Amino acid sequence: MSMKEAYEKKLQAQLDECAAEIDKLKAKADKAEANAQIEYYKQIEELKSKQANLDGKLSELKEASEDAWEDLKAGAESAWDSLSGALKSAASRFK
């Protein structure tokens, strides 16, 4: 397995994990009071937007050649950091 393939698998696993966490947050939001639901759903939409951005970066990475994928790695890392941070922040607010 090449470094590129290993990185793609790692990123896909992180994306899948985040999707599961977002689903958990949505379940909590569904059970929240009406006032809290509005804020929760807004945060979930922001998370989904960041998730879609990372998914796009992963797609670009998959299509890149072995030589070019390193150039895209920084953008993917940045998107992951953004999503990960937002997810942690949202999870702490949902408690």
In total, how many domains does the chain have?
A: 1
In a domain, 43, yes or no: yes
Using CA atoms, how far apart are residues 80 and 87, in angstroms rounded to an integer? 10
In a domain, 85, yes or no: yes
Domain ranges, residue 62: 15-93
Nearest Cα residue to 57 out of 14, 23, 3, 90: 14
pLDDT tens for the chain, residues 1 to 95:
889 899 999 999 999 999 999 999 999 999 989 888 998 999 999 999 999 999 999 999 999 888 888 888 888 999 999 999 999 998 898 87
Q: Each residue of 2-25: pLDDT tens digit? A: 898 999 999 999 999 999 999 999
DSSP string, 27-48: HHHHHS-HHHHHHHHHHHHHHH
In a domain, 9, yes or no: no
The amino acid at residue 7 is: Y
The answer to whether the CB of 15 falls within 8 A of the CB of 47 is: no
In a domain, 28, yes or no: yes
In a domain, 4, yes or no: no
